[in-house]
Structures are given as structure tokens and as C-alpha cells.
Amino acid sequence: MTIVAEGTPANEPAGANRWTRLTRPALGLVLPVTLAAAWEIIVRMGWSTGRLVPPPSVVFTTFVDLARTGDLQRDTLVTLGRVAAGFGFGVVAATIVGAAAGYSPLVRRLLDPTLQALRAIPSIAWVPLFVLWLGIFEASKITLIAVGVFFPVYLGLMGAIQSVDRKLVEVGRAFRLSDTEMVYRILLPAVLPAYIISLRSGLGLGWMFVVAAEFLGASEGLGYLLIDGQQLGKPAEIVAAIVAFAIIGKVTDWLIALAAAPFLRWEDVVRHD
């Protein structure tokens, strides 16, 4: 889901508006649906065995089978729990550090160079160290996810605070706001849109890192399903897990956007595609 800023379509008639609202997402479906249907036909006609790239019908059956045994639900919940924990820790840490660094130049000069240097390390490179320090179970996985979530949220929040319109801050000063009033009446609302965007990209990275974490010695979770499918030669299971990732990734992102929408109604044009 992306936020797209466009000219206000206020002068378009309501009918046309509804029409575009219905057709635009549908337009995006044309390509994947066509490809899937084409592949299904090719396999059905026997032009390909579909052994390495299973056709949609087989993926669907696998999906249903996994759901019937309860494996899918259990793996999804485990993965979701890891992402939630990692995202939670990462966001809390990034919000505290990002707010301090954005607000105080001293804290920024003190912390930012180090954090920027750490950010340059591919986060997967931490894995051996985390495993040594925290063991192979949940703690190392959640830490890895938290590290992945931390940086986009930290950078987004710090940048947003630094780029708050000085002129609006001056309005606050002219009305003699105290420091705390300045924070929650000017800074907080001004920073919110960029913060939400950083949360969403942080969550995206969280989903990326949970896969990496689950590749390393997990016995359950959607990432484990991927490895399991590879080792047992079941491509349909891999694709089913990928589809599950796509669905819950999209849904969780949409939930953040949905929760934030009431606070962002003032933004120039926010349209959710």
C-alpha cells in the first residue's frame, strides 16, 4: 500500500470518481491474474509438468491442506508473534532515540554518527553474533527483527522532527506555549505523517528480517515452512508460504494505515491505493 499525492479530484463528477476507485485496483490485478491463468493452462495442457513451478490450483490445494492440518495457522501465529515483538521493541527504541536526536542537537551529535555507522552494516551480518550472545531460540530472532525495524523508524522520526516548519514553531512561541505544549500541540502533529510512513517501512523490514531469522534453526514459523519446502522438495509449500507472507504483510501494513488515517485527515491529499 502506498500513499499517493495527486491533484484533488474534487472537480470530477462523483460517478467518475467511483468508477476510477473501482477500476484502478482492478487494473493492477490484470497482469498477475493473466500470468497465473496462463501458467495454469500451460500445465493443464501438459506443455509443462509444473513440478518446479506449481500452477495456482496446486498452490491453492497445498494452502488448504496446510490450513486443514493447522500447520499454517500455527506457523503464521508464531511468525506474527515474532514480528510483533521485534517490531514493538524496535519501534519503542527507535522512537525514544529518534525523538531525542531530533529534538536535541547534542544528543544527535553524540549518537547519530555511531548509529549511521551501525546502519551501514547489513543487518543479517549480526546473526552469528546474536546467536552466540542470545542463543538460537526466540531472543536472537526478535533482536534481529528489532534491529531491522529500528533504523527506518529512527531515521524517519529524527528527520521529521528536524524538518518541522520553523515558522509554525514560531507561531507556538508567539502564543507562549511551554516546552511540553510545544511538543504535543506543534511537534507531534507536524511529525505524525512522516512517523507513520517510517513505521510502515519499518514493518516492511520486520517482515524481511523474520524470514532471515527463521531460516536459522527455527522449528516453526512461515520461514521454517519455506526451508521445509526446499528440503523436502515441495515447491507448492514454498509458494503457499510466500503467499501467506504477502497476505499478512499487506494486512498488517493496512492496519497501521487504517489506525493512522483519522489523525492524518488534514493532509493535503492522502489517497490509499
Partner 1 sequence: MLVLDRVGKVYPNGVHALSGVSAEVALGEIVAVIGGSGCGKSTLLRAVAGLDPASEGAVLLDGERISAPHEKIGIIFQEPRLLPWLKVADNVGFGLHDRPKDERAQRVAAALKRVGLADKAQVWPRELSGGQAQRASIARALVPRPEVLLLDEPFSALDAFTRGDLQDHLLDLWADAKPTLIVVTHDVEEAIVLADRVMVMRPRPGHIFEEIGVDLPRPRDRQSAAFDFVKRRLLSALDRSLNRAGAEPGEEQKAAAGAALWW
Catalog residues that contact partner 1 under the rule CB under 8 A: 167-168, 170-171, 173-176, 185-186, 189-190, 192, 265-268
Q: How far is the CB of 194 from partner 1 (least distance, A)?
A: 13
Q: How far is the CB of 267 from partner 1 (least distance, A)?
A: 8
Task: Give the C-alpha separation, 213 to 127, whole Å.
Answer: 8
Q: How far is the CB of 185 from partner 1 (least distance, A)?
A: 8
Q: How far is the CB of 177 from partner 1 (least distance, A)?
A: 9
Toward partner 1, which CB reaches closer, 84 or 177? Answer: 177
Toward partner 1, which CB reaches closer, 47 or 266? Answer: 266
Task: Give the C-alpha separation, 235 to 228, whole Å.
Answer: 10
Toward partner 1, which CB reaches closer, 46 or 262? Answer: 262
Q: How far is the CB of 6 from partner 1 (least distance, A)?
A: 14
Q: How far is the CB of 268 from partner 1 (least distance, A)?
A: 6
Toward partner 1, which CB reaches closer, 70 or 262? Answer: 262
Toward partner 1, which CB reaches closer, 144 or 187? Answer: 187
Toward partner 1, which CB reaches closer, 68 or 167? Answer: 167
Task: Give the C-alpha separation, 94 to 202, whole Å.
Answer: 10
